[in-house]
Structure 1
Amino acid sequence: MASSQRPDYRQDYIARIRYSNALPPPPCPPKLLDIPNTGLSSGQYTSAGFASRLAREQPLNIEADAELGMPIDLVGLPGVFDGDESAIQSLSNPPALHPADRALMRPPNALGKATASAAGASFLRRTEYITSSTTGASKFESSNSSNTMRVRTKRRRQVDISEDDPTNIARHILKGFNLAYPDDAYNGPDTADNLRAAEIVPEDRQAWKMPKHPVNPNLTCIGTYPLLPDWDAMPDTGSYMAYKFMAPPINNPNDPSYDSRLDVALLRPAGQTVEDHNLYVQEQEAHKQDPTIPLPIPRYDFELFLPPDREKVHGIKRNFTTHDPDNDTEIPFDETQDEDGRAKKYFKYELIRTYETQNQVGDPENTYGDVVALAIHDPEQHEEEPLRGTKLQKAAYFYPIIQKTNLRSRRPGKVEMALEEPKVDIIETAARDPDAEVERRRTVRQRYDPIGA
């Protein structure tokens, strides 16, 4: 009898069990948007236009109340319950944006773009040291307490004091006057009438003693001029007007030199067009609603008059000067006889053309605020014929400008005028003593110089 023994095989059963560790859903589940899948290769997800398009297409799923979730307490706001809502309205002339906030006003397409490279070398890696130096961050050699406090103090000053702050600008302007006139410096506390100037450092005193050109340091200062007002040249209106011709008023191809007749030219107001009149009325209404807007100045058309020839220029200047006013022997007048047979002395001016106001800016209430005229006078170098009875010292004299006007030739044709002056082709002019004008000039000077007027 044959018996066979089968081998026994033992096999272990391995069961792999996975335990779930899923997080519970959040109490406020996020809102998932169904975005069309265009793929990452298109690059739309990284552009600012993609997010802007989603913001336009997706409606706001917010249940807002009448106060939009932000209750406003109107108690304490002036005039709100009387119907005056100006206290809660946006300002028509908002203040200037602070330089530190300009980065927040950048458009979406400018976000994420670097404004400066690492020291201009494209092959360098943008390491921490390069980043701190290019962005203007403070750094110090060692980490001791003195350096750390110095860096913190510097940062605090940059935050507290802004270069565009009006008070800071006024302090630095006063610092320049204190450098020039240290005896008149005000060192008391800040009040409504007196403001303490910025601190004068040794570098400022050195720069005052040895001035250097801001662009070319190799230049040397050979002379200085004090800045003074010229009260004797103050006009009756209290300020001057600057006119700029958009095209040369005298265009002679045969003689391209400067025509000296422009020094004694006359501009006569010829009237006001309907368009300029309506614009002036609108600007007056805007000034009444917002007094911070400069007082408007009316616009006029002007007629340009010049003497017939250049030989008359010297006589005209001599006639209008205050130097030796009773001496008329050297003045070549244009003489005629009047109805009584007496000699009539004058200078003849002829009409050249009519101009219209293209652009005009100015503030009648602040003639020294925007632009001033400057004339440098040195008696040792200026050997021209004297034009006034008094002598001027060496100085740079400034003159107020009430308005700046650009003039262009008026096109031919009929122009609808709201106010039109009679047509004039020839003007006869001569100088006289300023009788009534002296008191007006003294009044203007007393407004700025009460002691010397």
Structure 2
Amino acid sequence: MSSSQSRGGERMIHQDYIARIRYSNALPPPPNPPKLLDIPNTGLASGQYTTPGFASRLARDQPLNIEADAELGMPLDLVGMPGIFDGDESSIQAPLHIPAPHPHDRALLRPLSTLGKPKFSDSGVSFLRRTEYISSYTSKSRFESTTSKSLVSNTGSTRKPRPTPNVNTESPEYIKKQIEKGFQVAAANVKDPSKIRHPTKRNVQLVDAYPLLPDLDAFPDAGGYVTIKFLTNPVAPSSTYDIRLAHSLLQPVPTSEEEEARRQEAKELYERDPERNPPPEDGMDYEFYMPETTEEATNFKRKLDVFDEDKDDDDLYTHTNAQDQPAFRFKRVRAYESAHQSGSAQSKYDEDVVIAFHDGSDGLHAKAVYYYPILQKTSIRPQRMKNISKFTRRGPTTEEETEAPDYIDLQIEDPGEELVSERNVWKEFPYGRPGEAEETQDVQNGEKSRATRESNTPESRDADGESE
């Protein structure tokens, strides 16, 4: 009471109890206890500590401590084996006659001595190259053997070696000579097929040989064919192939003068500063037409088939045009535009070609494999944004831009003299005449006059339809 009374005048302050608690975060011991190895001390002078084989030898010397159970890790369940409880142990015994191993498993039966990398002689070093001298002189100090013939041939020869001629392998004469030599070797092998051997497969034998020739009579006036790929299905989805697609028409739409001037301006800006200006749009627009029924498509195919006896019969036509003449009628499906376009007249033989086998039974082709060049590869997609872009750039549709017809009537006729003369050019000049560089560039850009004008030649329209 005395102490409390003596501090009665002081102010009491309440203070909480603070305790610092530290939790242990020690790492657990390793799962395997450390093991001391008895390493023989050979000293640092021997240099064995720095070699990779030192650690490998220690790993081989240490035995593996494998703890196995009573069944040695492979429990045997006898339930389910036929006749095992009746005293018949044939199901668990090895067969008397060992079956032949599978060819894929023969590599597993190789002896241990043959495993690993093959050992080479110590004289050769894999990462060093033998010294080669520019001069054609070869040292004669090395002998192949100790016989007198070898000594005489290396020390003193009565005949001097003939100097090798200095041949330019890049010259046109040398290239022409090697090409002619290759044709001679091929002709000799064709006469005697037993001499031909496959470079890797020895059990393969030659059955028949076909010469590879260009079909010059089948070249169109453009000098090649065009492959067109639809990015979307142009017809309704079905489980069967619609044969109308293989006998449809794809008509190029000519570009207007304003659009042509806009492309030329974009091309000049891109050539001047390609980093700031995008590349010009180098594409074309198409109108896609297709027969309405499969019967019309079949008759159209027969009309183009040179082997069909009734190809000249007018009964194959399914409609009549405005002049009361028989014709095929194609209905417009929709407009398309090119999404990707590649290829040129100068590279039509470099990437892809079409190959056709003929055994000589048709009477028009000899027995050979004929190839046809691919002039251009184009991927087309449905045209959706063209009308919007036209309206935003130059206003609504002008009077000059008329809509495409809903139907097209087509008649099949023989090619005229002008078209035949254009086709015959490619027989003599595979890449075109030397003075027609500008026309070749127009073909590459898809702006050739044949594609932009309204052609009345049925073969040219058929080439566009069959290219699909």
Quickly name the TM-score band, shorter chain normalised.
Answer: 0.3 to 0.5
Q: Which structure has the greater CA radius of gyration?
A: 2
Q: Which has the higher contact order (CA 8 A, sep 6+)?
A: 2
How does the TM-score come out when normalised to structure 2? 0.45
How does the TM-score come out when normalised to structure 1? 0.47
**Structure with the higher fraction of residues in helix conformation:** 2
